[in-house]
């Protein structure tokens, strides 16, 4: 039982480290996205300035482009603060100096979760590795042993003793005795002890089954959520992100030649922010669910990336 409890501590600590590292990668991915958006808004500002200088657009277009770049700089300050917080959090878990640099050589956008195994395969793996289930099962074994011990109390206790008694200068004397203890009150007190032990055993068995059911529920929940997240990632990669990027570039070109107003540029740029940010969050959701599957925790797993530590 102590080994099972120790394994739960190990898995929990490993999950905390992996989630902290994921949070750091997520924040750095958001900073990279900010850099890309700043580059696009710089292009939009340059186009608006060029057209304003020749009198093709009002000054408000240029001011709105500058306003969006200022907002991005403000958001960057918040993300940089989050990055420092994430770095300090993972260094605390690593027992390193809080501000010690830590590289994240593989960006979050490079993650490609593999195919999802069947739910039954994940369930078998979870039952084999779950320290919580092992602890509950072993508690039931202890309770069953106590029932056997309670039943043994109805049998007589036989004792045999031997002793040597020194008598100074005389020959030592030997003593031997045989004793028999009869449990004459067993049917009154002992039977109640057996009943109590059996009730405790039944409770432990039901507790173990409850843990098994909860483990199955959490595993199936994560399987269902992960299947939906992986499907969403495919939509992002092969549809939404490609279309969003193409729409932004096309709209910027059309604004350059005067075919669309600046409001269209604002709309598609904000749509790009939503799509790219959603893709990062969905990647983080997938990683968090995979971490939870490895951790085999009984706690519910939220797939909202904003709830990362």
Query: Does residue 120 have a pLDDT over 50?
Result: yes
Segment 23-45 shows an average pLDDT of 92
Residue owning tokens 């993650």: 111
Residue 219, pLDDT score: 95
Q: Does domain 2-160+175-307 have CATH number 1.20.1600.10?
A: yes
pTM: 0.80
For the stretch 94-108, pLDDT in tens is 899 999 999 999 999
CA angle 108, 277, 17 (to 5 degrees): 40
Segment 155-179 shows an average pLDDT of 84
| Sequence-distant contacts of 187-193: CB under 8 A, at least 24 apart | 187/154, 190/150, 190/153, 190/154, 193/150, 193/153
Tokens of 291: 């971490």
Q: How many CA atoms lie within 13 A of 49 on its CB side?
A: 8
Query: Does residue 32 have a pLDDT over 80?
Result: yes
CA 260 – CA 251 distance, rounded (Å): 7
Average pLDDT, the chain: 88
Segment 49-56 shows an average pLDDT of 89
For the stretch 244-275, pLDDT in tens is 999 999 999 999 888 999 899 889 998 998 99
Lowest mean pLDDT among 27-36, 96-105, 181-190: 181-190
Q: Cite the DSSP H helix spans in 54-118.
A: 59-94
User: What's the helix, strand, coil split of the chain in %, to 5?
Assistant: 75, 5, 15
Query: Does residue 58 have a pLDDT over 50?
Result: yes
Segment 223-231 shows an average pLDDT of 94
Rg of the chain on CA atoms, in Å = 34
Segment 288-308 shows an average pLDDT of 78
| Sequence-distant contacts of 67-73: CB under 8 A, at least 24 apart | 68/41, 68/44, 68/266, 68/269, 69/38, 69/41, 69/42, 69/45, 72/34, 72/37, 72/38, 72/41, 73/38
Per-residue 3-state assignment (H helix, E strand, C coil) for 255-300: HHCCCCCHHHHHHHHHHHHHHHHHHHHHHHHHHHHHHHHHHCCCCC
Query: Does residue 64 have a pLDDT over 60?
Result: yes
Residue 189, pLDDT score: 62
Query: Does residue 304 have a pLDDT over 70?
Result: no
């Amino acid at each position: 039982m102590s080994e099972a409890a120790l394994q739960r501590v190990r898995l929990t600590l490993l999950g905390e480290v992996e989630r902290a590292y994921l949070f750091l990668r997520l924040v750095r991915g958001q900073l990279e996205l900010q850099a890309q958006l700043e580059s696009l808004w710089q292009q939009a500002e340059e186009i608006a300035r060029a057209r304003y200088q020749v009198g093709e657009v009002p000054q408000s277009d240029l001011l709105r482009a500058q306003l969006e770049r200022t907002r991005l700089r403000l958001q960057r300050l918040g993300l940089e603060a989050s990055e420092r917080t994430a770095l300090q959090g993972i260094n605390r878990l690593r027992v390193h100096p809080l501000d010690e640099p830590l590289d994240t050589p593989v960006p979050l956008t490079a993650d490609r979760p593999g195919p999802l195994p069947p739910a039954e395969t994940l369930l078998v793996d979870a039952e084999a590795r779950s320290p919580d289930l092992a602890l509950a099962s072993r508690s039931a074994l202890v309770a069953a042993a106590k029932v056997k011990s309670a039943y043994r109390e109805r049998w007589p206790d036989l004792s045999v003793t031997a002793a040597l008694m020194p008598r100074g200068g005389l020959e030592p004397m030997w003593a031997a005795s045989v004793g028999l203890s009869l449990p004459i009150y067993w049917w009154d007190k002992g039977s109640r002890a057996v009943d109590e032990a059996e009730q405790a055993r039944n409770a432990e068995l039901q507790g173990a089954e409850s843990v098994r059911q909860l483990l199955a529920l959490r595993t199936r929940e994560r399987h269902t959520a992960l299947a939906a997240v992986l499907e969403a990632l495919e939509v992002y990669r092969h549809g939404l992100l490609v279309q969003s990027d193409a729409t932004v570039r096309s709209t910027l070109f059309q604004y350059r030649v005067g075919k669309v107003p600046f409001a269209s540029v604002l709309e598609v740029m904000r749509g790009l922010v939503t799509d790219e940010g959603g893709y990062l969050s969905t990647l983080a959701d997938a990683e968090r669910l995979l971490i939870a599957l490895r951790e085999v925790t009984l706690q519910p797993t939220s797939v909202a990336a904003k709830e990362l530590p």
